[in-house]
A and B are shown apart, each in its own frame.
Chain A
Amino acid sequence: MATTVEALAPYAAVPLEEKERLLAQVQADPRYTDYLFGCYECGICVAACPSARFYDFSPRVIAQALAREDVELAYKQMNEDVWECSQCFSCLRCPRGNNPGGLILIMREVAVNNGLRSAREALEGYSRIIYKIMSTGTQVSPDMIRPDAFPDWGPTAAATADNLTLWRRAMPPETMHTTTASWEVAESTLEELYVIWHLTGVLDMIKAIDQGLHMILVDVMEETLEERGYSL
C-alpha cells in the first residue's frame, strides 16, 4: 500500500486539525477497542485478503497506521484505500485478535459521516441499493437484473428482464411473486424499518453523502413517520 510522501501529497492542503479530528472519531467509536489490539506484523491478514491480490491494498498497513496513530496516513486511507476492502473478514484470522475489516468499516462510516468526497465517489451507482432497502425492506429486487445494468452477466440477464413478471409468477413460494422487492414485505414491517432508520441516524448519514437520495427517501418515509409521531 502506497505510504510515501508522493502518496500523501494530494492531502497536503487539508489542515492537520481536520485530519486529527477524523482520526479521533475513528478512535472514539465503541467498536474500536474490540477491533484493535497490538500488531506484530505477521502478515496473515494480507496473505488471506482477496483485495490485496488485486489492488495495492494492505489490511496490515491500515492496522499499523491506526496503531501508530499516523494521522496523515490514516487520512489518506480513509480517502482511498478503505474502499478496496471486500468485507470478507478473512483478516479475522489475526492471531492478536485484531479485526482490520472492522476497522475499515469504522473508517468508512467516518468518511461518510463527514461527507468526504471519496465516500461520495465510491458510492456512486450504489444509491439504487440504498433506495431499494429503504423503500421496500429488501436490499435488491428482481427488477434490478437488467442487461444495461449487468452487461457482463450474459444472456440470462436479458432473458430474466424480458420474462420477469411471468417468471416471478412461476414459482411456488407465495411471498416471492414480487418484482419490485425480493419478497412481499408487509406494510407494517416497512414502517418499523423507517422508524429504525430515523431513530438511529441513518438518514442523516445518507444526507451527508447524497442529498438527492436523501430527499427522495424523506419523501417516501415522511408521511408514515409523521403518522407515528416522528417528524423528519
Chain B
Amino acid sequence: MTQPIVVIGGGPAGLEAARAIGDLGVPCVLVEARDRLGGNPDSASYSTITLDRRTAREALDTMIGAVTDHPYITVHLETEVVGRSGHAGTFQVSLQKTNHRNGSVGTAVDAAAIVIATGFDHFDPGRETQMYGYYEFDDVITLVDAERMFSEHRFVKPSTGEPPKRVCFIQCVGSRDRRIGNEYCSKVCCGVASKQAIEIKQLLPDAKVWIFYIDMRMYGHWEEKIYWPAQEQYKVQYVRGIVTEILRKGDSLLIRGEDTTLGRPMEIPMDVVVLSVGMVPSTGTRHIARALEIPQDKYGFIDTPNVPLDPVSTGVEGIYVAGAAAGPKDLEDSVGMANMAAMRAVALARRQSLVAAE
C-alpha cells in the first residue's frame, strides 16, 4: 500500500501536481488554506492567461475539475500544514483547520513525500523606493487591480469611474532593485504588462498606452506573439526609461522619468498608471518554510540547491517544490515543475512501499 503524498497549496502548481500524482494511481492529500482552490489566478481575479489568452476562469475550472472527485485525491480546504516529523518516505504531517484556531484539534497524515506549492504574493508598492504614491493616488494601480477590472470587462479610472484616455505601465516595480532587496527579475511582468496593454487597447481603442521599461523580457515566443503585435497592431508605445516619481497635477497624474533613447528628461500627464509589481515569497511560503523546517534562499523563497537540472528538490530529502514558491516562475515553469515534483514524489512513495513490504 503506497503512502499518500501531501501537496500543499491549491494554485496552478499544486493542482497540476495533485492531478499528476492521482493519475499515476497514488493517493494524494491536497491542502489549501483558503476556502476554495485556484491560488493567485483566483484570489487576484486574473482575467486571462498570458500567451494563449484563455480566460483564467476557464483554465482554472479545467484544472480544478481534474482534482475534484478524483478517486485518488482528497482535498482539505481551510486547512494549513503546521509541522512534520519523520523523514523521506515516512513523514507525519500535522494539519490544522485555519478557521478553528483556538482549541481546534489537528490531524496527522502519514505521507511518503511532500510537494510544496504555496506560490507567491504580489509586491506591495508601498515598499517601493521610487515615489509611486500607490497609497496616495487612487488612479495608480497594480497589474492585479487591472486584472480585476478586465475580469469585469472594463477598464476605468478608479477616482471617477470613467474610461481613461492615457494609460501607462511602469515595469520592474519591486524587482531588480538592490535598495529594496529584491535583486531578481520577476520574469512574467513584461509579458503580463504587454498582454494588459493589448487588452486595454481592445476595450478602449482610442486610449494611448505606454510601457516604460529597462529591458523588455520577452522569452521565446512571447517576442512575436505578444511584443510585436502590441507595438505593431495595437500601437502600444514602448519607451526605454523607468519612471521615478508620480505626482498629481490638476486632474492628471504626472509621471517623471528619462527617455533614455532620446537622452532627455520626460514629464507626461497620465490618467491611469499601472505598476508592474513583481513576485515576493507568499505568507504561505514563509509559513511553510518555518513549519516544515526547509531552507529558504536569501529572499525567502524555498531554496532549490540543484538548479538548473533539478529545479524541484529542496534542502530536505523527500520534500519537493513546484511553482513560484521557489522563486519567480511563469505558468509553463510551474506546471512543468509540478509534474517533475509529482514524478519524484511518486518514485519515492513506490520505493518506500517496496521497502515496507519486505
A–B touching in complex (CB under 8 Å): yes
Interface residues of A (CB under 8 A from B): 1, 37, 40-49, 52-53, 58, 60, 93-97
Instruction: Kindly list the 4 A-B residue pairs having the minimum CB-CB distance in the complex, ordered from nearest.
Output: A43-B258, A46-B258, A97-B178, A95-B177
Q: Is the interface on chain B under 10, 10 to 19, 20 to 34, or 35 or more residues? A: 20 to 34
B179–A44 touching, CB < 8 Å: no
Please name 25 pairs of A and B residues whose Cβ atoms are closer than 8 Å in the assembled complex, sorted by A: A1-B263, A37-B178, A40-B176, A41-B214, A42-B242, A43-B241, A43-B242, A43-B258, A43-B259, A43-B260, A44-B244, A44-B258, A47-B242, A47-B256, A48-B244, A48-B256, A49-B265, A52-B258, A93-B130, A93-B179, A93-B244, A95-B129, A95-B130, A95-B180, A97-B179
Which residue among A41, A44, A49, A53 has the maximum number of chain B CB atoms within 10 Å of its CB? A44
Given the complex of chains A and B, what is the CA–CA distance between A31 and B301 in angstroms? Answer: 33
Q: How many A-B residue pairs have CB under 8 A?
A: 65
B138 at the interface (CB under 8 A from A): no
The complex places the Cα of A94 from the Cα of B259 at a distance, in Å, of 16
B215: interface (CB < 8 Å): yes
Give the residue of A40, A48, A58 whose beta carbon is less than 8 angstroms from that of B263: A58
Interface residue? B58 (CB, 8 A): no
Instruction: Tell me, in angstroms, the Cα distance from A53 to B258 when the chains sit together.
Output: 11
Is B130 within 8 A of A44, CB to CB?
A: yes
B258: nearest chain-A partner, CB-CB: A43
Decide: A53 and B179 in contact? CB cutoff 8 A.
Answer: no
Query: Which residues does chain A contribute within 8 Å of B266, judged by CB atoms?
Result: 47
Structural contact, B178 and A96, CB atoms closer than 8 A: yes
**Are the CB atoms of B263 and A47 closer together than 8 Å?**
no
Expressed in whole angstroms, the minimum distance between the Cβ of A39 and any Cβ of chain B is 11
**Do B257 and A93 touch (CB < 8 A)?**
no
**A44 B263 Cβ-Cβ under 8 A:** no
Measured CA separation A48–B257 after assembly (Å) = 7
* Residues of B with C-beta under 8 A to A1: 263
Contact call B215/A52, Cβ cutoff below 8 A: no
Instruction: Decide if B241 touches A47 in the complex (CB within 8 Å).
Output: yes
